[in-house]
Amino acid sequence: MMKNEFKGLIVQGDQKFSLKDHKTDFTGGYNKEKAKDALVNSKIALSHLQEKLYASRKHAVLIIFQAMDAAGKDSAIDHVMSGLNPQGCQVYSFKTPTPEEYEHDFLWRHYNALPERGRIGIHNRSHYENVLVCKVHPEYILNENIAGFSDIKKINKNFWEQRYRSIKNFEDHLTANGTVILKFFLNVSRNEQRKRFLERIDDPTKNWKFSSGDIKERALWNKYMNAYEHAINETSTAASPWHIIPADKKWFARLAISEIIEDKLKSLDLKFPVLDEEEEVKLGEAKRTLLEE
């Protein structure tokens, strides 16, 4: 059962979400050392659960990470997933669509990256970019060459509502066919982002993480927060709710993510496959053959 300190991070489908109600520096009563120890235990549990997931092949798990720049998506993926078997896990990082991807509907490239049953798929950014960055920069929609939308003025409220419906239908379809969806928004403060940007600039080993474009996007902070609020309110459902992860303290964000994934996998009541009678007979014969060698 999920610990109380993490339950408050879930946006239920029937509640109104507002970013101002979620503190970016919340730590749930943990300190850094306590969280570090708890994360070790959670990662061990995740490893065992992943083995059952892979063996049973009843479910696929899709983990979605969305956040502003420097919120800690990459490090969260690195730390939380480090105990998993790479054979049962795949990570996709979505960038600007390619010309081929622009020739299809906006969900096409994401559908092609879905995990098979028994595997965990991690999407670093996702189909939600189409109602986040594209909402802040609606001119990007024109690259999709959609009939009837050759003018940015036509990209209105109805357009975005249809996108939200498409996303919900997409996720409902996946859920109905055995994919468990976990959606994480790493909620970092503007001040903490500034601090991390400065660290990237001052540390030569981190210069590669920084782009001049990051500052241009930072200037649009309020528009992005508005886009996130709308997207989360429109697409958080009982089957695939959003989790708002306080991201100012990376050590707590990593623990919260790991605990939430662990709790979800436990709820699936995963079991190793049981052999039928015929296969058990064959297993016994194989054992006797080996013992007689």
Q: What is the C-alpha to C-alpha distance for residues 67 and 196, in angstroms, rounded to an integer?
A: 14
Interhelix angle 32-56/250-267, rounded to 10 degrees, is 30
Other beta carbons within 10 Å of 165: 12
CATH superfamily of this structure's domain 4-292: P-loop containing nucleotide triphosphate hydrolases (3.40.50.300)
Identify the pLDDT of residue 126: 97
In this structure, the dihedral spanned by the alpha carbons of residues 82, 86, 90 and 93, taken in order and rounded to 10 degrees, is: 50
Domain boundaries, the chain: 4-292
**What is the separation of C-alpha 216 from the centre of its chain, rounded to a whole number of angstroms?**
25
For 62-112, how does the pLDDT look when each residue is reduced to its tens digit (9 = 90+)? 999 999 999 999 999 999 988 899 889 999 999 999 999 999 999 999 999
Collapse the DSSP code of 198 into the 3-class scheme (helix H, G, I; strand E, B; otherwise coil) and give the result.
helix
For 5-37, how does the pLDDT look when each residue is reduced to its tens digit (9 = 90+)? 898 899 987 778 899 999 999 999 999 999 999
Q: What is the C-alpha to C-alpha distance for residues 228 and 17, in angstroms, rounded to an integer?
A: 10
Q: What residue ranges of the chain have pLDDT lower than 70?
A: 1-2
| Gap between the terminal Cα atoms of the chain | 48
CB-CB contact of 209 with 200 (8 Å): yes
Q: Which two tokens stand for residue 226?
A: 């508005």
